[in-house]
Structure 1
Amino acid sequence: MSSPSISSSSKRPRDGQALDTAQQKIPKIHPFFTKSSQPTSSSAFRWVPLGPKHTCLHALNLDPQPSSKVAAFDLDGTLIKSTIGTRGVKDPLQWEWWRSQVPDKLRDLHSQGYSIVIISNQALRPAAIKSWKNKIELFASSLPNLPFRLFAATEKDVYRKPLPGMWYELDRIFREQGVELDKSISLFVGDAAGRRGDFAGTDRKWAINLEIPFHTPEEYFLNLSPVPFTLEGFKVQSLPIPQVSPTSSPILPISPKCEIVVFVGYPCLGKTSFYRQHFQGAGYVHVNQDTLKTREKCVKLARESIEAGKSCVIDNTNRDESTRKFYIDLAKTKGIPVRCFLFEGSIELAWHNDLYRTYLSANGDKRALVPYGGLVSFRDKFEEPATDEGFSEIRRVNWVFRGTPDEERKWSMWLQVDGK
């Protein structure tokens, strides 16, 4: 059986026709992507937006039916060869199969009742996205009788692997059609697996997050044995216990008295939740710059609270001595004690919580993502509080996750994009 010609007039191979044999080489460039090739629209392949201004691209080839078992694949480096960092690729429409076995394997999975789904990260500029979409339309034309669905994350948000947003969209679509996904008989194949030479471990992390069996392209298409891997980056581990130290005195004074409590720490380490849990019910006024917008308004509210005989909590990052001095001086002027609660945790933990709170939290306290640069700014300008600043006591607060088992499972996922 001969491989297709590489001329611009070559005919598309019939469904099921091998692209090469053991004696024949795979063409360097797929025949559809010679310089004379142009995207051709086809009703068989179509882009189906998930919603207005949605950051996840969604496409269908033919009419893919939902199935409880899903065979999901990364695109670049898994189904087709990646052109990232490849010199001499001038035509953005050029591509070739990762290995010749790929199309037949996809067709075989479809015949077994699997839903074929492509899951891809594509953080590209608008002009590049347009060209990439043309390439995908031509890719689909090389599989004329294979129904499949494609998701592509175009921003660094909940849809970008290893975050699970693309799988959640698939699950939602299937449930609307009365089909429940079965992760135990589904699978995901990807090349970003944390092996030596891999650019990242993103694909393997995505599969771990979703508890789906994972394979590398070499394992799945070539039946090679697994090789060692290392997943780098921040992963939730056991955190210090107890939550608050020292433990010799209660969080609230035994004899109620007017005081100022100053919180110190990165954003996203649970300061506001700690206030609600321990201080709100005791009548402490909540002084928060996210709500009040300026430091001047925070100091003003703190002063008004103390003058009214009410204790208050300064729920801001309060990263340096000069910022904390406003409240220490106020306490000295009014002759009341001022205590400090230092919320401890690394910048990686703060960023992890930031991503979880923004994209995966199921409660009603979702807020906009705190830019990573804001966390870096806190780290670079942080001055650890000391009692000689004027604090009567400094308590240390360790992060403790509070939520349902399902919420904790999501919080425990790999959430940070490799290298970010």
Structure 2
Amino acid sequence: MTVDTARFATRAVHAARSRETAASRATPIYLTAGFEFDDFDHAADHFGTGTGFGYTRTGNPTVRAVERQLASLESGADAVLVASGQAAVTAAVLSVVGAGDHIVSSTHIYEGTRGLFLDNLARLGIETTFVDDIADPDAWREAIRPTTRALFAESLANARNDVLDIAAVSAIGDESAIPLIVDNTLPTPALLRPLEHGAAIVVHSASKFLAGHGSVLGGVIVDDGRFDADRAGHNAPHLVLPGRGGLPSVYTRHGGNARIAYVRESVAPRFGASPSPLNAFLIGQGTETLGLRVERQSRNALDVARWLAAHDAVESVDYAGLPTHPHHATARRYLDGGFGSIFTVTLRGGLPAARRFVEEVEVFTHMTHIGDVRSLVLHPGTTSHAQRTDEERRVLGVAPGTLRLSIGIEDVDDLVADLARVLESVRETVA
């Protein structure tokens, strides 16, 4: 019996099936839970070696294409795409640390990551020490313990724009064969590629600049492919010792790519962090225009930051592109092509001024997000940093009148006009 001669219900299920191939110019969307095997041996080989595709949770052609794209842009050896930026941080960290281990992290990190370290990983017996002065190499060195297995920081901090000296911190990690994991969400590889400066692993919230359109969630882990068992094997027994049932070690099977292979084989699929192929497609499409968008956003942001810094309703602007920023010199060393588009502005008049600002803007959108083509605003003190103490917020540069801006690709004159109108209203309120 063929499908054509089958009964109605059978034809409804099977008649669309085709094994034809076509060379699509755009990345095809393989929106399927699983993949058909050619024969018995094909299935056995896939489960034995991991080659090919069997189930989307462990691999998908659309996802794989975007992983290659992002690994290339970050100058990495390989990448794993996951369901969110938070999943990317979790998977990257769990690829190098375990119970009883220790992390040294910058204080200036996303609140979700801080909560992961302090609440979730702590319950698994993983401790974290935070470094306030990330520009002080000795502060990083002194925080390292015999059990330290990872250093973690953001390349450009959200949202005060503290800039990490990646080469200096990665060199400190190298002294003890400890990998530096860098969240590179804000500058993106269009402006900065941490692996080229000594970092071992890069993570992104792909929902932000990579996708660019604010419509999907996703995250990515990119590895440098330089894991050295002789130097670092004592810190990573899970990578160098044989697996269950005498399976050759991850390092034996994957060499320098052992860390990212461990993420792909053991962390992402087992914790269920696999992305939708549709989301992967949209991230890949967005990434194709990343350079153009980041160039425009960075140029707009510099113009807006300069304008705000000169306004008498503004107390301060924390933007690495301004010479007044304490990390401006470091930013000039590391950022190529712009200074990014996320920064904070603190208004005179405190919380009442900030409230009026977010409720009266029209071109700016008030929402929890960054890296969108649209310009966005958020009040950190009552949202993202609400769980911090007053002293912690002070250290991070978050005052009652502080607002985080994410500058989009709109015409900069329209952005400035919106700000001028709102700040005039704010000034009247404060007066």
Q: Which TM-score tier does this pair reach, normalised by the shorter chain?
A: under 0.3
TM-score, normalised to structure 2's length?
Answer: 0.23
Higher Rg: 1
TM-score, normalised to structure 1's length?
Answer: 0.24
